[in-house]
A and B are shown apart, each in its own frame.
Chain A
Amino acid sequence: MTVAAGVGYALIGLGPALSIFVSVISKKPFLVLTVLSSTMFWLVSLILLSAAWRALLPIKSTAFWPYAVLILTSVVFQEGIRFVFWKLYKKLEEILDLFADRTSKRRLFLTDKLQIALAGGLGHGVAHAVFFCLSLLTPAFGRATYFVERCSHMPFSLISAINSLGFFMIHTSSMVIAFNGYAQKKKSDQIFVPVIHVIASIMTLINLAPGGCVIGIPLLCLSAAGTLLYCWMLCLHKTSLLTPLYSGLPVTVSFEISSRARLKLP
Chain B
Amino acid sequence: MERSILDSIGTEIVGVMSPVSICMLLVVVLVSGLSPPSSSIDSSSSSPATAATLVYLESPSDPPAEKLVGALLNAAVFVALVTAVTFLLVLLYYYNFTGFLKAYMRFSAFFVLASMGGSILISFLRRFSLPLDAPSALLLIFNFSVIGFLSVFSNAVPILVRQSYMVALAIIVAAWFTKLPEWTTWILLVALAIYDLAAVLCPRGPLRILLNLASSRDEELPALIYESRPTISNHSEPSVELQPQAPTRSNPNPNPNPNPNPNSDPRQTLSSRQSFSSSTEADESIIEIQNHAETYPLVSSERGRDQPESSWSDLSSSLGFSEQDNELESTRGIRLGLGDFIFYSVLVGRAAMYDLMTVYACFIAILSGLGFTLILLSIYRHALPALPISITLGVVFYFLTRLVLEPFVVGASMSLVMF
Query: Can you name the residue of chain B whose Cβ is closest to the Cβ of A212?
Result: B416
Contact A47 to B417, CB < 8 A, known contacts A36-B368, A138-B355, A263-B1:
no
Q: B11 at the A/B interface (Cβ < 8 Å)?
A: yes
Q: A150-B416, A208-B417 are in contact. Are A50 and B14 (CB under 8 A)?
A: no
Write out the residue numbers on chain B whose beta carbons fall within 8 Å of the beta carbon of A50. 404-405, 407-409
A112 to B9, CA, bound (A): 13
A51 in contact (CB, < 8 A): yes
Instruction: Assign chain B's interface to a size class.
Output: 35 or more
CB-CB contacts below 8 Å: B370-419 with A: 371, 397, 400-401, 404-405, 407-419
Proximity bits, B1-44, A CB within 8 Å = 1, else 0? 11111110111011101000000000000000000000000000
Interface of chain A, main secondary structure: helix
How many residues of A are counted as interface, with CB atoms below 8 angstroms from the partner's CB atoms? 71
Give A257 to B26 CA distance when docked, in angstroms: 37
Q: How far, in whole Å, are A53 and B413 apart by their CA atoms in the complex? A: 15
Q: Does A49 contact B (CB under 8 A)?
A: yes
A151 touches B416 (CB 8 A): yes
Cα A59 to Cα B13 in complex, Å, equals: 43
> What residues of A have a CB within 8 angstroms of the CB of B323 in the complex?
103
Known: A30-B10, A32-B14, A36-B368. A54 touches B407 (CB 8 A): yes
Q: Is the CB of A208 within 8 A of B416?
A: yes
Using an 8 Å CB-CB cutoff, how does the interface string of A198-214 with B read, 1 for contact, 0 for none?
00010011011000010
Query: Complex formed: what's the CA distance from A53 to B410 in Å?
Result: 13
How far in angstroms is the closest Cβ of chain B from A251?
17
Interface residues of A in 133-162 (CB under 8 A from B): 134-138, 148, 150-151, 156, 159-160
Query: Which B residues touch A49, using CB under 8 A?
Result: 408
Stretch at the interface among B99-107, B119-127, B356-364: B356-364
A33 and B364 contact, CB distance less than 8 A: no
B322 in the interface (beta carbon within 8 A): yes
A54 touches which of B13, B356, B404 (Cβ 8 Å): B404
Distance A131 CA – B356 CA, assembled complex (angstroms) = 9
Q: State whether A57 touches B408 (Cβ < 8 A).
A: yes
CB contacts under 8 Å to B, within A41-99, are: 43, 46-47, 49-51, 53-54, 57-59, 67, 70-71, 74-75, 78, 96, 99
CA distance A64 to B6 in the complex (A): 46
Chain B contacts with A in 291-340, Cβ cutoff 8 A: 322-324, 327
Q: Tell me whether A31 and B368 are in contact in the complex, defined as CB-CB below 8 angstroms, given that A57-B411, A148-B414, A208-B415 are known contacts.
A: no
* B418 surroundings in chain A (CB, below 8 A): 128, 132, 163-164, 167, 201, 204
| A-side contacts of B10, CB under 8 Å | 29-30, 32-33
Please judge, given known A-B contacts A32-B10, A33-B14, A47-B400, whether A160 and B5 are in contact too, CB under 8 Å.
no
Distance (whole angstroms) from the CB of A43 to the closest CB of chain B: 6
Residues of A within 8 A of B7 (CB): 27-30
- A201 to B364 alpha-carbon distance, docked (Å): 25
The contact string, 1 if C-beta is below 8 Å from chain B, for chain A 249-265, is: 00000000001000100
Q: Are A207 and B417 in contact (CB under 8 A)?
A: yes
A78 to chain B, nearest CB (A): 7
Does B223 lie at the interface of the complex (its beta carbon under 8 Å from any beta carbon of A)? no
Known contacts A28-B7, A33-B10, A106-B5: does B419 contact A131 (CB below 8 Å)? no
Knowing that A134-B360, A148-B414 are A-B contacts, what are 19 other residue pairs whose CB atoms are under 8 Å apart, sorted by A's residue number?
A29-B10, A29-B14, A29-B15, A32-B14, A43-B361, A50-B407, A51-B400, A57-B411, A58-B411, A71-B417, A75-B419, A99-B327, A105-B3, A105-B322, A106-B5, A109-B4, A127-B364, A131-B409, A159-B416
| Residues in A lying within 8 Å of B, measured CB to CB | 27-33, 36-37, 39-40, 43, 46-47, 49-51, 53-54, 57-59, 67, 70-71, 74-75, 78, 96, 99-100, 102-109, 112, 115-116, 127-128, 130-132, 134-138, 148, 150-151, 156, 159-160, 163-164, 167, 197, 201, 204-205, 207-208, 213, 216, 259, 263
Can you name 21 A-B residue pairings with CB atoms under 8 Å? A29-B7, A29-B11, A31-B6, A33-B14, A33-B371, A36-B368, A37-B371, A58-B407, A59-B411, A70-B419, A78-B419, A116-B6, A132-B413, A138-B355, A148-B414, A156-B414, A159-B416, A167-B418, A197-B419, A204-B418, A208-B417
Residues of B whose CB lies within 8 Å of any CB of A are 1-7, 9-11, 13-15, 17, 322-324, 327, 355-357, 360-361, 364-365, 367-368, 371, 397, 400-401, 404-405, 407-419
